[in-house]
Amino acid sequence: MTIYTLKDLNFTKAFDAISSQDPMVSTRYCLPIPNWEESGGKDDPAIQMVEGKGLRFVFYNLTDQREQFANVDGTEAIAFQTPIDVAVQLHGFIIDTFGNDPAVLCPQDVVEIIFEATRLGIHDLYDKNMSDITDPTIMHREPSIQSEFGGFGAYVPCPNMSAAIFLKGEGIYIPYEGAKPQVFNNGGYISFPALPVEELKKYSNESLVKLVADKKIGMPRMVQGSIFESNRTMPDGKLIKSGKVINTLNLESLRPSA
C-alpha cells in the first residue's frame, strides 16, 4: 500500500465540500464522557494511560480501522455517525438501560453502549470535543432526539466549507511522524475540518504539518471514500464520486447499505 503524509498531498487538487444536511446520512449521535478523573472509574481496564495524551477511554473505529482516545475529564464525547433512525434506536437503548443522564455512566456502561451500537450497525465512532458539539456554528441539534443535557443527543454538522483531497485506490495515511495511521480502501478523502481551499492554499506542506502537530489547526482526517461521498456534497449541493462532481446519481444510491 502507498503511504501518504501531509507532506505528500497536492493542495492544488483540493476542493471545498460541506456536510450533507440530510439527517439520514450526516447525523452524529453524541454521548458525553463523564469526568471519571473526579468521579472514579479511572482504574477501569477500558481507561489507559496514552503516551502524549494522558488518561483516555480507548475504543475502536471499525470504519477508520484505528483506535480512538476520548478524554476522561468531562470535556469530550463519543460521536456515533449513523442515520437518524438508528440513532433513535441507540438513544432508546441508553435511556431504557441507564437513564437519561450520561454523567452517571461508568466506563463499562459505555463499553456496553458501544457493543449495542455495533449490533445496530454503527461502525464509525470517534472522540469529539464537547465545545464543538455545543457550538451552534459547528453543530445543530437534530430534533428527532430531545435531551436536557447539553452535548447529549443527535446533531448534524453545520454546512461549513472544508477542503478535501481525493486519494485513489488503497493506502495508509499518516499525517506526520508519530501520528496514528489510517488505512483506506477503494479511495479515501483527506478532509481539512473548517479549513476551506482558499485558506489551505496559503500554507506550504511543511508549515501545515507543524501547525497540525502543535494543535493550532484541526487534524486533517482520512475518511473512507464511500463514507465521505454519502455524507458530504459540494457547496452547491451537487454530489461527489471519486473526487468529481456528479449529477446523475440519486443520494439514496450513495448511502451505505444497512
- Tens-digit pLDDT profile for residues 207-239: 999 998 887 888 898 998 988 998 899 998 888
Above pLDDT 70, what percent of the chain? Answer: 95
**Residue 221 near residue 188, CB atoms below 8 Å:** no
- 247 pLDDT band (50/70/90 cuts)? low
DSSP string, the chain: -EEE-GGG--GGG-EEEEE---HHHH-EEEEEPPBHHHHS-TTSTTEEEETTTEEEEEEEETTTTEEEEEESBSSEEEEEE--HHHHHHHHHHHHHHH-S-GGG--HHHHHHHHHHHHHTT--EEEEEEHHHHT-TTTEEE-TTS--SSTT-EEEEE----EEEEEE-SSEEE-SSTTSPPEEESS-EEEEETT--HHHHTTS-HHHHHHHHHTTSSPPPEEEEHHHHHHHEE-TTS-EEETTEEESSS-HHHHSPP-
The highest-confidence range among 41-55, 163-177, 233-247, by mean pLDDT, is 163-177
Q: Which of 2-6, 83-87, 179-183 has the lowest mean pLDDT?
A: 179-183
CA distance 16 to 233: 9
For residues 51 and 123, give the distance between their C-alpha atoms in angstroms, rounded to a whole number: 25
Amino acid at 33: I
Is residue 202 pLDDT above 70, yes or no? Answer: yes
Q: Round to whole Å and give the CA distance between 7 and 176.
A: 8
Write out pLDDT tens, residues 92-126: 999 999 999 999 999 999 999 999 999 999 999 99
Query: Would you say residue 255 has pLDDT above 50?
Result: no
* Other Cβ atoms closer than 10 A to 243: 17
165 pLDDT band, cuts 50/70/90, is very high
Mean pLDDT (the chain) is: 89
- Cα–Cα distance list, 60 to 22, 134, 144, 247 (Å): 26, 24, 27, 35
The answer to whether 256 touches 230, Cβ cutoff 8 Å, is yes
pLDDT at 83 over 90: yes
Look up residue 164 and give its three cell numbers: 478535501
CB 205 within 8 A of CB 11: yes
Is pLDDT at 25 greater than 70 in this prediction? yes
Residue 249 has pLDDT above 60, yes or no: no
Question: CB of 134 within 8 A of CB of 151?
Answer: yes
Phi, psi of 252 (to 5 degrees): -60, -35
Write the pLDDT tens digit of every residue in 32-63. 999 998 877 778 999 999 988 899 999 999 88
Q: Mean pLDDT lowest for which of 8-12, 39-43, 151-155, 167-171?
A: 39-43
Q: For residue 226, what are the CA distances in angstroms to 59, 192, 250?
A: 22, 17, 14
**For the chain, domain boundaries:** 2-21+160-254, 23-157
| pLDDT tens column, 138-148 | 999 999 998 88
- Look up the pTM and report it: 0.77
